[in-house]
Structure 1
């Protein structure tokens, strides 16, 4: 059945393209695009609003943000961060940074490893 073989090949190609275009969250390590970094302060409303603003800005550029405490990424302690990624290579991360800059002009790259809970 040559038709089924063609469908199987097409599915493998699509799956491979999707995997290449998806951030390496399974790795938890790589280059993160930092869209916001906010010092942890006693004012919980400030933190919530700052993270919400950065998250909304990232989404306006069509990306999916993720946030947590900076120390969980191996970054300097004492901040909440909004990030996209991680990406395996600098060119991948640079491409996403370029895509994000119209919405978050001060976004930057930082290598780290997400340690989770």
Structure 2
């Protein structure tokens, strides 16, 4: 049995993924944040066609760096990890709770 990687139906203290698109979300541009594993302990990310400079020790550090560069311009991003689309992720969640967002991503990719 596979689980969908999406928000809970009940509001939580922090929301990573928007439960359903609002009318104004359809009109707003969302950049694509792609995180990939380079080595067992190294990650890299890109936003659109712009590669991040260097490697990061964890997914959490990728999220912090990406949120710092995107937060002034966008409210959310479309998140990909290892080529798999995960959904929309709020920049505010990446900024305030990067560890929790990283744990959600890692939990999704744990072998069953």
Say whether the fold is shared (TM-score over 0.5).
Answer: no
Name which structure has the greater RCO, CA cutoff 8 Å, separation 6+.
1
Q: Which of these two proteins has the greater Rg computed from alpha carbons?
A: 1
- Of Structure 1 and Structure 2, which has the larger fraction of its residues in helix? 1
